[in-house]
Amino acid sequence: MKAKSYECIIVGGGIAGLQAALQLGRYMHNVLVLDNQDGRSNLCRAYHNILGWPDGVSGETLRNLGRKQAESYGVEFKKAFVHKTEKNKENILLYTEDGTVLEAKTLLLSTGIKDRIPSIKNIEPCLGISIYVCPDCDGYEVRDQHVLLLGSGKTGGNLALTLTYWTDKITFINHDKEQLEPALLDQLTQKSIHIIDEQIEEIITENESEFKGVKLKNGQTVAGDKGFIGFGGNAVHSSLAAQLGVERLENKHVLVDPRTKETNITNVWAAGDVVAHSEQVTIAMADGCQAAIWIHKRLLKNQS
């Protein structure tokens, strides 16, 4: 069976992928977005640092509105997981887990990353509302409050230090009991950051999403006003890029041309958190839009 062909296929329907889809739809290109609906933006209940949303906006809202916008320009969406991709002489082939084979003249990888969040009771409803992940996004939300840093080892310790810009009341719950290097331990001590080496059993909440503290495996409860996550070990979803020979850093983030967002493989672009940058929603939007502009230029060039 001949593979169905598109001018552009976007793998990943998060913020970067949706912004690119919207732009390419407005260029009237034949575009398909493949998304398994498991992106990290689904977990965030409120972004507070996006222009035009003074009261915050959830990742779910952005995704729903973005998809509706893109569909209004004829962009197709399919829930699918792509497990293999390869280039033939002219185009790029994508293979989904349901056995579908698709063909694209250009490919945008916006596959993102996945935060390592242990299975802790009551944690999900609080994400983006009273438990945060990104200090650049939400450090402001915890100013002068008692923060419980729910994390592990070096990652958690360094995030606790970062948060001292906004508050001097921080307790670091070292969930995995990972030993801290003496230099880091000394810095934490100097900043009066209390460290508890114990696993977290559950989040204590009010009204489902209002963080009040944690209950530890040893039965101890620790009260706090807000929570922050810093477990480390986030998964970078760049395996498809690797299959195509795309250049990656040691941490598996994809390298792109800073102007065009194209990778070192012709007709393959990348945008959003899978790219080596600061993992911000607004940057993901910019990446997606910029990539779409240059994908459009390439499609025009190939038609002439």
C-alpha span between 36 and 12 (Å, rounded): 7
Model-level pTM greater than 0.95?
no
β strands within 40-114, DSSP E: 76-79, 82-87, 92-96, 101-109, 113-114
Give residue 272's pLDDT. 96
At 94, which amino acid appears?
L
Give residue 146's pLDDT. 98
C-alpha span between 295 and 5 (Å, rounded): 16
C-alpha span between 225 and 221 (Å, rounded): 13
C-alpha span between 178 and 144 (Å, rounded): 28
Q: What does the pLDDT look like over 64-81, one tens digit per residue?
A: 999 999 999 999 999 999
Q: What does the pLDDT look like over 214-261, one tens digit per residue?
A: 999 999 999 999 999 999 989 999 999 999 999 999 999 999 999 999
Give residue 3's pLDDT. 79
Give residue 63's pLDDT. 95
- Looking up tokens 């996945």 gives 114
Select from 95, 20, 26, 8 the least CA-distant residue to 274. Answer: 20
Select from 64, 78, 69, 90 the least CA-distant residue to 9. Answer: 78
- Return the structure tokens found at 176: 């995995």
Give residue 42's pLDDT. 79
Give residue 40's pLDDT. 82
Give residue 229's pLDDT. 96
What angle separates helix 59-72 from helix 15-26, to the nearest 10 degrees? 20
3-class SS of residue 94: strand
CB 274 within 8 A of CB 113: yes
Sign for the pseudo-dihedral over CA of 5, 6, 8, 12 = negative
Give residue 1's pLDDT. 55
Query: In tens digits, what is the pLDDT along the chain, a chain of 304 residues?
Result: 567 999 999 999 999 999 999 999 999 999 999 998 888 887 788 888 999 999 999 999 999 999 999 999 999 999 999 999 999 988 999 999 999 999 999 999 999 999 899 999 999 999 989 999 999 989 999 999 999 999 999 999 999 999 999 999 999 999 999 999 999 999 999 999 999 999 999 999 999 999 999 999 999 999 999 999 999 989 999 999 999 999 999 999 999 999 999 999 999 999 999 998 778 999 999 999 999 999 999 999 998 7
What angle separates helix 281-303 from helix 15-26, to the nearest 10 degrees? 40
